[in-house]
Chain A
């Protein structure tokens, strides 16, 4: 299961001055205890990534149930309440169970290696923040079997629909609490590690951009997760303890929930996107054999996006009936995000400009990210314009938009990262041909699934419906075919990764010609169990 179980290569080339402990005396426990009690950032990173992939499969099966029901008009496979439960838990599991832990896995593996630190700042807290995830996932899955089935309230969990829901809602609320605790602990760990454990000479502005994006993301998490915890706690007390936060009859307001939720929810979008930016900012320069263009402006753009993300939440609520002045403010503030985001895209293109490009799988996924994430960004700009949004809010246009950003954005970037660092993590190479197949199949089926959904939304198909009018039939059928193709393509990914771990060719220390961060320049492949117990000498 793990990369680190392999024997360490002795006699590999070393750049000296560091890492003398990475030989036979690792003192790592074997068997179950190695994983349950692990305080090693690499083991924990590995567990995060496998956890994330298994949740990706669970959420993916839910997505396929949704698409299967929508293949044709009429109710064929599931009942509406089960359908609603699928849309809800597909969203929650993909966001909190798959995408977020995947990038925390990257952070665990890479931040200590990239800044020249021996491990994360708080290894035991690191262990706890991972081991909180499986119970949370179990609660989300157990919710399906609660009396009355899963809570069909949408991943946004709007009140007062949540007040009506059955006991599954309580399990979901506790799951969200636990996930929040895990994220906050993970973030504190990352912030502390980045700020305090950099090797001498590794100034903040010399860090690889991936570390910068995680530093900023960690602040977003610390600031926004408690807000979500507050929102779901109020839901809990409204349900069971007689409070009326979201009940107008008791002096509350259902819209209050939405304000609180989206104050978390919009930064959450960037919590997912910003580490993805970080991965892409490592991959594109490596395969362009050219330094990242505009490093400083990338840092400032990322920070601006993070700050702006706290000031635009109500653009998710243009139809709740806010005063026109408020709507104007949120529209202007939202369009502003296009500027730093544009800067990032321009910087990536400029990085490639006059480079010496090659197109191995990580680069293909990074380019897929760049192209499709930008498309999702453009539909985001369309949605930011309030009068237009009023027409397409809560339609499939929005569904298409956020899947371009989340799947072609965050997920493709995660794939890019996995292929990029697998040689470093496992000491073995994946099969390049199969990797490219995985990319092209994912790219094509992704677009088959989601591009047509723009049309569905424009023509007036609402989100979260188990059945639809006849004029939407063709595009829904196409979308379903694409979804199954996309789902099956991901099994190829699993095959490629397992094959790489178990029997790939031996990877070199610097597998990629253009890679220049410390894990490539100073550490062998596979990276030793403990790296940099003495800081590397930096120029």
Chain B
């Protein structure tokens, strides 16, 4: 019996040591065991701070549980140990109150320094606004080189990979149709907000995580040290597809970044011509374009076959709204429906909204034969838009 107990405790101690050793093992730069390799100065600071704290914890852990396991071995009744009856010791108690205070004070110094550095968003070279939507990100380059660039970025992993009918690619769930491009070595200030519910903009390797609060703008920053592609995800539960709204940031050299800006500007000009509301549109044009818009924005809830996922996500095929008067259809797409997961889609371009509504009215069981033009969308948007920006107030959090 004694032998058996001794064996059990030996195993327990081995397990304990193994467990406490597993934490420092994380220092071996294996990204799977530790924080991702940082690509920013603040990232290194945080990485080192985490390593130091973890080691301090391991050290205290070993000392405290060293005492405990010694007692477990040596002060057993089965080895004939008689219990002493002491139950207080003034100086020991003072010591183990004071020593942790000192350790915490020592820890507070680098932590404070890191936090102040982390929150200093002053004097950025480039300012980008990230807006969280259910379930994608929108980006607006507000200030600095690339000002005026604006696009949306959604998950590009095919449904088939998620459902397991196709093999999963190497960047499964961490890939997007468009990527945020930033120059290397420049301070990028991110203004983060949301359109519907709370999201969080998080790229681990750049050491940024900032909640996106609807109706408020918060800021954070990063300065990438080396070019490369860095992947992150939404970090705040935001509904059904919270797990499916990744973030991809591509860091380019200054020259490559300028090239990218040029090409974006050229594309935007082309798009502006293509989307001209005055241009004559045909039903087929709109339908073809609408199918793409639908796939990017609507398919997650209303499904490719238009049957939705009732009752939370109603079917569009045969829906009273989708085959009723087009004003009603347009209003719900623009403004959403309060109290449901149907978010407003005002942020899409007039042409995209016109296209997707036309598509929905002329696909599946829906055969209205009518079309909504970008000009109609523009007119419908007219009234509601002025009020929207007023609700967003910048909170200078510094």
Identify the A interface with B (CB < 8 A). Answer: 73-76, 79-81, 84, 147-149, 152-154, 158, 160-161, 163-164, 166, 239, 247-249, 253-255, 288-297, 319-324, 327-328, 331-332, 335-336, 338-339, 342-343, 345-346, 349-359, 367, 370-371, 374-375, 378-379, 381-382, 385-388, 390-395, 447, 451, 454-455, 458-460, 462-471, 474-475, 514
Contacts of B196 in A (CB 8 A): 160, 164
Which residues 323-342 of B sit at the A interface, judged by CB distance below 8 A?
338-341
- Extra contacts, 15 of them, besides A74-B163, A327-B115, A359-B5 (Cβ < 8 A), are A84-B237, A147-B311, A149-B312, A152-B240, A248-B392, A319-B200, A328-B112, A335-B108, A345-B64, A349-B68, A354-B75, A355-B84, A391-B50, A455-B33, A469-B231
The answer to whether B31 touches A471, judged by C-beta atoms less than 8 angstroms apart, is yes
- Cβ of B357 within 8 Å of any chain A Cβ, yes or no, is no
Chain A: interface secondary structure?
helix
Contacts of B118 in A (CB 8 A): 386-387, 390
A-B contact pairs, 17 of them (CB 8 A): A148-B312, A152-B239, A160-B198, A166-B312, A248-B214, A291-B87, A295-B87, A352-B75, A394-B200, A394-B202, A447-B19, A458-B33, A459-B33, A459-B34, A460-B36, A465-B233, A467-B173
- Cβ of B83 within 8 Å of any chain A Cβ, yes or no, is yes
The answer to whether A355 touches B71, judged by C-beta atoms less than 8 angstroms apart, is yes
Instruction: Select which of B108, B116, B210 is within 8 A of A319 by beta carbon.
Output: B210
Q: What's the minimum C-beta distance from A312 to chain B, rounded to whole angstroms?
A: 14
Instruction: Select which of A324, A343, A468 is within 8 A of B173 by beta carbon.
Output: A468
- Cβ of B131 within 8 Å of any chain A Cβ, yes or no, is no
- Cβ of B255 within 8 Å of any chain A Cβ, yes or no, is no
Chain B: interface secondary structure?
mixed
Q: What's the minimum C-beta distance from A328 to chain B, rounded to whole angstroms?
A: 6
The answer to whether B162 touches A75, judged by C-beta atoms less than 8 angstroms apart, is yes
Docked complex Cα distance between A195 and B340 (Å): 50
The answer to whether A357 touches B53, judged by C-beta atoms less than 8 angstroms apart, is no
Contacts of B60 in A (CB 8 A): 378
Q: What's the minimum C-beta distance from A282 to chain B, rounded to whole angstroms?
A: 15
Docked complex Cα distance between A74 and B243 (Å): 11
The answer to whether B215 touches A336, judged by C-beta atoms less than 8 angstroms apart, is no
Docked complex Cα distance between A263 and B189 (Å): 31
Q: What's the minimum C-beta distance from A338 to chain B, rounded to whole angstroms?
A: 6
Q: What's the minimum C-beta distance from A171 to chain B, rounded to whole angstroms?
A: 15
The answer to whether A462 touches B234, judged by C-beta atoms less than 8 angstroms apart, is yes
Contacts of A374 in B (CB 8 A): 61, 64-65
- Cβ of B263 within 8 Å of any chain A Cβ, yes or no, is no
The answer to whether A338 touches B104, judged by C-beta atoms less than 8 angstroms apart, is yes
Docked complex Cα distance between A74 and B173 (Å): 9
Contacts of B209 in A (CB 8 A): 319, 390-391, 393-394
Docked complex Cα distance between A288 and B76 (Å): 8
Contacts of B364 in A (CB 8 A): none
Docked complex Cα distance between A355 and B234 (Å): 52
The answer to whether A74 touches B81, judged by C-beta atoms less than 8 angstroms apart, is no
Docked complex Cα distance between A288 and B72 (Å): 10
**A468-B240 CB under 8 A given contacts A160-B214, A291-B87, A324-B398:** no
The answer to whether A324 touches B115, judged by C-beta atoms less than 8 angstroms apart, is yes
Identify the B interface with A (CB < 8 A). Answer: 5, 15-16, 19, 22-23, 26, 31-36, 42, 45-46, 49-50, 53-54, 57, 60-61, 64-65, 67-68, 71-72, 75-78, 81-89, 92-93, 96-97, 100-101, 104, 107-108, 111-112, 114-116, 118-119, 161-164, 168, 170-174, 192, 196-198, 200, 202, 204, 207, 209-211, 213-216, 218-220, 231-244, 309, 311-312, 338-341, 391-393, 395, 397-398
Q: What's the minimum C-beta distance from A413 to chain B, rounded to whole angstroms?
A: 16
The answer to whether B46 touches A294, judged by C-beta atoms less than 8 angstroms apart, is no
Instruction: Select which of B96, B114, B161, B168 is within 8 A of A343 by beta carbon.
Output: B96
Name the CB-closest residue of A to B216: A248
Instruction: Select which of A163, A253, A462 is within 8 A of B243 by beta carbon.
Output: A462
The answer to whether A388 touches B50, judged by C-beta atoms less than 8 angstroms apart, is yes
The answer to whether B61 touches A375, judged by C-beta atoms less than 8 angstroms apart, is yes
Contacts of B232 in A (CB 8 A): 460
Q: What's the minimum C-beta distance from B98 to chain A, rounded to whole angstroms?
A: 9
Q: What's the minimum C-beta distance from A440 to chain B, rounded to whole angstroms?
A: 8
Contacts of A349 in B (CB 8 A): 64-65, 67-68, 71
Contacts of B237 in A (CB 8 A): 84, 152-154, 158, 161, 463-464
Q: What's the minimum C-beta distance from A66 to chain B, rounded to whole angstroms?
A: 13
The answer to whether B218 touches A342, judged by C-beta atoms less than 8 angstroms apart, is no
Contacts of A388 in B (CB 8 A): 46, 49-50, 53, 111
Contacts of A339 in B (CB 8 A): 97, 100-101, 104
Contacts of B19 in A (CB 8 A): 375, 447, 451
**A387-B5 CB under 8 A given contacts A81-B312, A161-B238, A469-B172:** no
Name the CB-closest residue of B to A381: B57
Instruction: Select which of A166, A296, A358, A459 is within 8 A of B32 by beta carbon.
Output: A459
Q: What's the minimum C-beta distance from A313 to chain B, rounded to whole angstroms?
A: 16
The answer to whether A387 touches B49, judged by C-beta atoms less than 8 angstroms apart, is yes
Contacts of B54 in A (CB 8 A): 382
Contacts of B119 in A (CB 8 A): 324, 327
Name the CB-closest residue of A to B88: A294
Name the CB-closest residue of A to B234: A462
Contacts of A378 in B (CB 8 A): 57, 60-61
Contacts of B114 in A (CB 8 A): 387
Instruction: Select which of A75, A320, A463 is within 8 A of B218 by beta carbon.
Output: A320
Docked complex Cα distance between A465 and B50 (Å): 25
The answer to whether B115 touches A386, judged by C-beta atoms less than 8 angstroms apart, is yes
Docked complex Cα distance between A249 and B336 (Å): 14
Instruction: Select which of B32, B81, B204, B215 is within 8 A of A356 by beta carbon.
Output: B81
**A290-B87 CB under 8 A given contacts A74-B168, A164-B340, A321-B210:** yes
Contacts of B234 in A (CB 8 A): 462
Instruction: Select which of A74, A147, A355 is within 8 A of B83 by beta carbon.
Output: A355
